[in-house]
């Protein structure tokens, strides 16, 4: 899944339209996410989890992002994240 840096995240989530029917509320947000990442997402909740700042740096062993910025162990390969 493509991840968003902070500027991209703000740009995407600011497209949500409040005060309209729920089925139309996230259409512009999902379109902006697709425009930026090239990935067509259909679940607006998933976009809120594609924010880089929620995760830690890449694991030195496997390269996957750590589960949080303060993680002490990689959740994927169990390598210590000193």
> What's the pLDDT tens digit per position in 27-80?
999 999 999 999 999 999 999 999 999 999 999 999 999 999 999 999 999 999
39 and 62 inside one domain: no
Count the Cβ atoms, other than its own, within 10 Å of residue 45.
8
Predicted structure pTM score:
0.80
10 and 46 inside one domain: yes
Range of the domain at 62: 55-82
Confirm whether 70 is domain-assigned: yes
62 and 38 inside one domain: no
42 and 61 inside one domain: no
- Per-residue confidence (pLDDT) for residue 61, from 0 to 100: 95
Structure tokens at 76: 């994927």
Structure tokens at 80: 């210590």
Domain count, the chain: 2
Confirm whether 1 is domain-assigned: no
């Amino acid at each position: 899944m493509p991840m968003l840096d902070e500027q991209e995240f703000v740009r995407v989530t600011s497209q949500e339209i409040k005060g309209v029917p729920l089925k139309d509320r996230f259409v512009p947000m999902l379109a902006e996410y697709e425009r930026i990442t090239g990935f067509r997402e259909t679940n607006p909740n998933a976009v809120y989890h594609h924010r880089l700042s929620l995760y830690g740096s890449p694991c030195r062993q496997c390269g996957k992002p750590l589960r949080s910025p303060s993680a002490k162990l990689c959740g994927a390969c169990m390598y210590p994240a000193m």
